[in-house]
Amino acid sequence: MNLEDMTLSFISEHMPFFFEYWPFIITGIVCLLAAVVLFKTALETPGDECLPPEQDMFDELNELDEMDEDESEKNQEDESVVPALPVDLKHIPFEFSRMSHEESVKKSKEFLDMMSKRRTVRFFSTDPVPVEILKNIIMTAGTSPSGAHTEPWTYVLVSNPEIKQKIRDIVENEERINYERRMGDVWVTDLKPLKTDWEKEYLTTAPYLILVFKQLYSFKENGMKKMHYYNEMSVAIAAGILLTAIHYAGLVSLTSTPLNCGPAIRVLLERPQNEKLTLLLPVGYPADDATVPDLSRKPIEEILVEI
């Protein structure tokens, strides 16, 4: 008996099941391996090259959140040794004068009426605006609350026509791609009633552009990194106060979140790497023939849940 016969007889004697069904068993193993390889490849393959912008933005935010968490962990030890605010920070009496309920009702109603007139304006006049007004507006935004009083914001005020043109070029280049390739039919269709497109003339006609940067972190006096907790939320609240202050000062603006333009604009404006562009607001007076979409606001029953 040769070696081959001996092997076969050994298998048939000791592994009768395998001997009878080996073609099926081998096929099964090969299929299983192929399925595992295919599954792993599918998980690792990046999706569509042109992700929808929401996805880009989502990824970007996730990335930052992750970064915040990592950085936060790294800084735990450092934070416990040297707090960002002085340990013996003085606490002072709070200045407050209580209004009557009638006065409060009146003021809240007046404020509601005033804020109801705030609109996003897309057509600007080139009329100049004293810079002092813009500084007061930005200081008002600076009164916003912030996580652990980190004040994680930088406002870049641009009036230089050449820089405005460069910003417009960056935004229009990206917006053209956004509208033509990235945004998809649903988004573009949703925007049609607002009559927005990739052309952003207001970026050069408005006398000012305010660029709101959020600071992911900063540095303490001892050079250690200072974490900016909830920087996203803090800057969003400050932006609301900024828009309110612009409106209260008799000016108009357009809230915009220039998609995919952040890094190029940050470099153009020479802002450091710990800052991320969140909003771009042209500010000024409306053009004489400016129009706005005829929008209505949800009634209180739809936005308030009283318990």
* Site for ligand FMN contains 255 (CB under 6 A): yes
**CB-nearer residue toward ligand FMN: 11 or 114:** 114
What is the distance between the alpha carbons of residues 103 and 54, in angstroms, rounded to a whole number? 44
Q: Which of 60, 72, 119, 177 binds ligand FMN (CB under 6 A)?
A: 119
Q: Do residues 218 and 150 make contact, with C-beta atoms less than 8 angstroms apart?
A: yes
Q: How far is the CB of 278 from ligand FMN (least distance, A)?
A: 9
Listed ranges 12-20, 33-41, 117-125, 156-164: which one lies at the site for ligand FMN (CB under 6 A) = 117-125
Listed ranges 23-31, 94-102, 119-127, 223-231: which one lies at the site for ligand FMN (CB under 6 A) = 119-127
Site mask, ligand FMN, residues 72-111, x = CB under 6 A?
----------------------------------------
Q: Do residues 242 and 160 make contact, with C-beta atoms less than 8 angstroms apart?
A: no
- Amino acid present at 95: E
Site mask, ligand FMN, residues 203-242, x = CB under 6 A?
----------------------------------------
Listed ranges 32-40, 83-91, 104-112, 254-262: which one lies at the site for ligand FMN (CB under 6 A) = 254-262
- Using the Cα atoms of residue 160, residue 163, residue 167 and residue 173 in order, give the sign of their dihedral: positive
Listed ranges 62-70, 114-122, 165-173, 209-217: which one lies at the site for ligand FMN (CB under 6 A) = 114-122
Q: Token pair for residue 231?
A: 């920087």
Beta strands, E only, 146-230: 153-158, 208-215, 217-219, 225-227
* Site for ligand FMN contains 140 (CB under 6 A): no
Q: Token pair for residue 158?
A: 């641009």
What is the distance between the alpha carbons of residues 243 and 254, in angstroms, rounded to a whole number? 9
* Site for ligand FMN contains 256 (CB under 6 A): yes
* Site for ligand FMN contains 260 (CB under 6 A): no
Q: How far is the CB of 199 from ligand FMN (least distance, A)?
A: 11
* Site for ligand FMN contains 120 (CB under 6 A): yes
**CB-nearer residue toward ligand FMN: 112 or 295:** 295
Listed ranges 53-61, 66-74, 78-86, 250-258: which one lies at the site for ligand FMN (CB under 6 A) = 250-258
Q: Which of 295, 300, 305, 307 binds ligand FMN (CB under 6 A)?
A: 295
Q: Do residues 245 and 140 make contact, with C-beta atoms less than 8 angstroms apart?
A: yes
- The site for ligand FMN, by CB under 6 A, has a size of 11
Count of other CB atoms within 10 angstroms of residue 93: 5
Q: Do residues 144 and 241 make contact, with C-beta atoms less than 8 angstroms apart?
A: yes
Q: Do residues 299 and 133 make contact, with C-beta atoms less than 8 angstroms apart?
A: no
**CB-nearer residue toward ligand FMN: 152 or 258:** 258
- State the DSSP H helix or E strand holding residue 277, giving kind and residue range, or none if neither: strand 275-284
What is the distance between the alpha carbons of residues 92 and 72, in angstroms, rounded to a whole number? 30
* Site for ligand FMN contains 173 (CB under 6 A): no
What is the distance between the alpha carbons of residues 20 and 16, in angstroms, rounded to a whole number? 6
- Nearest Cα residue to 274 out of 210, 223, 228, 222: 228
The footprint of ligand FMN (CB under 6 A) covers: 119-120, 122, 194, 196, 254-257, 292, 295
